[in-house]
Chains A and B, each alone.
Chain A
Amino acid sequence: MEQLKKLLRDPLIHFLLIGAATYAAYGLLDPGADAEDAATITVSQAEIQSITEQWTRLWNRPPTKEELAGMLRKHVRTRILYKEALAMGLDRDDQVIERRLAQKVELLSRSLVVPQLPSDEVLAAWYAENPEQFRAPDTYTLSQVFFDPDQRGASTREDAVAALATLQSLAAMPEDLSGYGDSGVVGNYYAGRSELELGKVFGGGFVNQLVTLEPRRWNGPVLSGYGVHLVYVHEVVKPAPPALADIREQVQEAWMLEQVEERSTAFLDELVERYEVVVEATEVPLTVPPAQAGE
């Protein structure tokens, strides 16, 4: 009994069972499938009913005999072309079909395990280990000078580098930066702005570079979607993570997601292990990343 329980917990076994059940269900729904040989198309009662229902859903009335015949003709044609395509091997070497099927397996693997809700202790311990993703974004106080490629063309970067040397040589921050670059596009000074807020002003590419800048000195050139910037970071504030009680719902969702990810990854790893992988290109050392399937 214990062994059976263990067996049922095993995701791979689970998956194979579900696969078998899906197959059985399909066989039940489509009795024609078994009976069909290569040159026979059987349209089952269930299929006719399903086609009729689809029509009714669209038009709010059942199809007439002619309409049904038309739909069936189209259906049969699709089935025949599908069979021909399979026979010709057109499903092979088609990246869209490959990826779609791989993704179906991946999604199925995710639905295998619905984790139990975590206890308070489990959640608190997990949150203590993973506070980063729940922390509010860093806030920056910064000054910046902008160099506009629309106005300066090829010399934009050069101008910025020259101004950087001047600014770095100053003993103190000038009170008015408007004489150093081009105005009219963005402001010179932003106080206590979160990364998200700065993203609204300067774009994502600019914000991603902020973390690499040395505080309390002029840095640059920093690029944005507008052009070239010199940046002086006065202060970076990293907010403390919120109390668990305030964001319990979010933390629990993230915990559940991680559980599902872990089980799904473990399962896909196991699946890959059942294969011997031969890579013919010798110059590429390759390990197959199992979790990437279908992505």
Chain B
Amino acid sequence: MTRMTRMTRSLSKPATTLSALFSKLVLAAAVAAVPLTTSADSIGEPGRDSGTPNPLNNVYFGEEHLHSSASPDAFAFGTRTDANDAYRYAKGEAIMETQSGKMIQKQTPYDFAAVTDHSEYLGMMPLLLDPNSPLRDTEIGKLIAEGTHESGEAAFQQIITSATINVPIPYLVDPKIMKTAWQKQIDAANKHYEPGKFTTLIAYEWSSQPNSKNLHHNVFFRDNVGPERPFSSFDSVRREDLWTYQEYQRSLGHENFSIPHNSNVSNSAMFALHTSDGNPIDKRWAERSARNTPAVEMIQIKGQSETHPALSPNDEFASFEDKFVHLLGSGGVQSLIDTSFVRQALTNGVGFQEMIGANPFKYGIVAGSDSHVSASVNEEFNYTGGHGNIDHSAEIRLSGAGSVAGEPAVLFGSAGITGVWAPENTREAIFDGIARKETFGTSGPMIKVRFFGGWNYRDNLVEDKKFVEKAYKGGVPMGSDLPEKPKRAKAPTFAVWAMKDPNSGNLDRVQIIKGWYDQRGYGFQKIYDVAWSDDREPGKNGKLPPVGNTVDISKATYSNSIGDTDLSVVWTDPDFDPSQHAVYYARVIEIPTPRWSTYDAAELGVAPPEEVPATIQERAWASPIWYTPAPELVEKLDFYPGLQKRLP
């Protein structure tokens, strides 16, 4: 393990000669109007301010999962703000939260956002309320027109029931009416797209949920026109059929990808070791999966999907925002853990690469909110709830009264966000950044992470002014395959650079997490602490001691007297075996800070809720880098117990 310590530079004072002083005096008059200073950039973000597309890529933060009044369930939570409001909030404008009637606003705006309303009955609730809509003559339209509480309830009940049992009401999936509603979403995305300043993506959510197993995917488009209509779970609940739709749209010129989420409540379905029909995963299936779903959502308000303490007993950071455990709409059935989490899927993915020659779980990492109130609430200290009438005020959130699908409001986390490395802030550049997986997800703060892999990075690379340029030249960025191993190289080297969010806690540590398949056909994972703050020494068990905790729970405050502003390091895998397929991703951990529920409790002057921790360690996950051995190095097995034992 290496740790990079930066040199303290002495404060140099420029000499002031008489002639230099004279020339400076002459210049002084012009200085105020035309500053002549050059910009010495952050070492991890060179060229950000050049004003032209940056070949070394800039980081852009944003939201890839957000619902507005066009989603029937959001409408039922009382949300009346639409996609336009959602984009305005993301840009930093204040919008009115429907249920509290209060103006809400982000402290730090996003660079991009995609509103992803459910494609099932997308936009139908607002249309049913519109007296001029043709839907007014339908059975449900008439019930709503009656205007009584009971008739409204009856109307909504019909809609929710049909969505739950996945049998559509014919006039609510009428292609003509659907197209009108879908076009509104496209128009909102295009209206708020300001190339160079703020990017939107045309997108929606395919909400497949057979037997309450969450298989939801968000679908995103690269162009400004988008598809004729979205694909819904009424069309099919099988992901193979979603891929067929995606491939068809691609053939029409609508380049797209989909991103699965909430594998944590998929009841083992999201990363199952077999297809929807129960057949073994073959090479073609794996390739279609990798092509159509290049990224996975690591965290959102319904919990994180990285891993579970049962799957990662040696990971002291595994239990994080993991209290949301029940299958949606199941009436309290706990989701199965096996094949429901990303780390295990990434590991099984490299096993498949060895077994069938393709990796079905080759995901980059993103994160989002899944908020249903048009507001992406990633700021822990500025949390205003994600489900309208059940969590719009601190009192309601802590009262335990409201619930979504049986889960009390306090178990929901704040939103995650996505960081994309891209040359500029345009729809194409952001889309391409996610498609090539040069992304990271965070649990909310705007932590910045660079992660590179190569075969011969020098130990002091991260101190070099040209760190980023040399890292690209000598290797690959996050989301890529390591180049072929040079004969003389002993082990891969990885360069990580992480910078804190100036509005959040300092950084505790950087870890690299490795997953691999061994010669007996089993998957393994190991966590390496690679850079950390405050001159700590790992203990006898090899574990780095905790960074400490400065949180004053009753006041919901903390101090940045522990932790570091930035951490960076070049790390070499000490356990590398060139014959084993492997995957590496980086995790950056903040010092402990108050959870939103602790801020709420301090505001109300009560004790924080007992169901959740009072303090959390926010974090970022950088997309993986994969190692695939040359074929002559691998001895393939006849049977892979890690991948084949659980076939039905």
Chain A interface (Cβ < 8 Å from any Cβ of B): 53, 57-60, 95-96, 99-100, 103, 107, 110-111, 141, 143, 148-152, 159, 162-163, 166, 170-191, 196, 199-206, 216, 224-227, 234-235, 253, 257, 260
Do B399 and A96 touch across chains, with their CB atoms under 8 A apart? yes
Q: How far is the CA of A97 from the CA of B564 in the complex (A)?
A: 41
A185 in contact with B499 given A173-B31, A199-B108 (CB within 8 Å):
yes
Contact for B395 among A100, A143, A179, A190, CB less than 8 A: A100
Do B161 and A200 touch across chains, with their CB atoms under 8 A apart? no
A191 in contact with B502 given A152-B8, A257-B96 (CB within 8 Å):
no
A189 in contact with B28 given A57-B160, A203-B502, A226-B565 (CB within 8 Å):
no
A141, A180, A187, A191 interface centre (most CB from chain B within 10 Å): A187
Task: Name 26 A/B residue pairs within 8 A (Cβ), A-sorted.
Answer: A57-B157, A57-B161, A99-B604, A149-B565, A151-B9, A152-B8, A173-B28, A173-B35, A173-B36, A178-B40, A179-B12, A180-B11, A184-B6, A184-B566, A186-B42, A187-B42, A187-B49, A188-B38, A189-B37, A189-B38, A199-B109, A204-B107, A204-B502, A225-B504, A234-B35, A260-B101
Q: Name the residue of chain A whose CB is nearest to the CB of B103.
A: A257
Contact for A225 among B109, B111, B501, B605, CB less than 8 A: B501
A111, A159, A257 interface centre (most CB from chain B within 10 Å): A257
Q: How far is the CA of A162 from the CA of B10 in the complex (A)?
A: 12
B425 to chain A minimum Cβ distance, whole angstroms, is 11
Do A100 and B396 touch across chains, with their CB atoms under 8 A apart? yes
Q: How far is the CA of A173 from the CA of B14 in the complex (A)?
A: 12
A172 in contact with B101 given A95-B604, A150-B566, A183-B40 (CB within 8 Å):
no
Residues of A within 8 A of B96 (CB): 253, 257
A203 in contact with B49 given A96-B398, A151-B6 (CB within 8 Å):
no
Chain B interface (Cβ < 8 Å from any Cβ of A): 6, 8-9, 11-14, 16, 21, 24-25, 27-28, 31-33, 35-43, 48-49, 61, 92, 96, 100-101, 103, 107-109, 111, 157, 160-161, 164-165, 329, 331, 393, 395-396, 398-399, 406, 446, 499-504, 533, 560, 564-566, 604-606
Do A59 and B35 touch across chains, with their CB atoms under 8 A apart? no
A190 to chain B minimum Cβ distance, whole angstroms, is 7
Number of A-B contacts (CB under 8 A): 158
A62 to chain B minimum Cβ distance, whole angstroms, is 13
Residues of B within 8 A of A205 (CB): 502-503
> What secondary structure prevails in chain B residues at the interface with A?
loop
A227 in contact with B565 given A141-B35, A204-B503, A206-B502 (CB within 8 Å):
yes
Q: How far is the CA of A114 from the CA of B395 in the complex (A)?
A: 25
Do A199 and B39 touch across chains, with their CB atoms under 8 A apart? no
Do B49 and A190 touch across chains, with their CB atoms under 8 A apart? yes
Residues of A within 8 A of B398 (CB): 96
Q: Name the residue of chain A whose CB is nearest to the CB of B84.
A: A249
B87 to chain A minimum Cβ distance, whole angstroms, is 13
A224 in contact with B604 given A107-B101, A172-B25 (CB within 8 Å):
no
Name the 5 nearest CB pairs between A and B, nearest first.
A203-B502, A225-B502, A172-B24, A184-B43, A187-B39
A18 to chain B minimum Cβ distance, whole angstroms, is 15
Do A185 and B36 touch across chains, with their CB atoms under 8 A apart? no
Do B40 and A177 touch across chains, with their CB atoms under 8 A apart? yes
Do A188 and B604 touch across chains, with their CB atoms under 8 A apart? no
A173 in contact with B37 given A110-B101, A151-B8, A185-B565 (CB within 8 Å):
yes
Do A234 and B42 touch across chains, with their CB atoms under 8 A apart? no
Q: How far is the CA of A148 from the CA of B38 in the complex (A)?
A: 20
Q: How far is the CA of A187 from the CA of B40 in the complex (A)?
A: 5
A6 to chain B minimum Cβ distance, whole angstroms, is 26
B6, B11, B500, B560 interface centre (most CB from chain A within 10 Å): B11
A103 in contact with B393 given A60-B161, A151-B6 (CB within 8 Å):
yes
Do A191 and B108 touch across chains, with their CB atoms under 8 A apart? no
Residues of B within 8 A of A150 (CB): 6, 533, 564-566
Residues of A within 8 A of B31 (CB): 172-173, 234
Do A199 and B107 touch across chains, with their CB atoms under 8 A apart? yes
Q: How far is the CA of A239 from the CA of B21 in the complex (A)?
A: 36
Q: How far is the CA of A29 from the CA of B597 in the complex (A)?
A: 35
Residues of B within 8 A of A196 (CB): 92, 108-109
Residues of B within 8 A of A224 (CB): 502
Contact for B606 among A96, A179, A185, A234, CB less than 8 A: A96
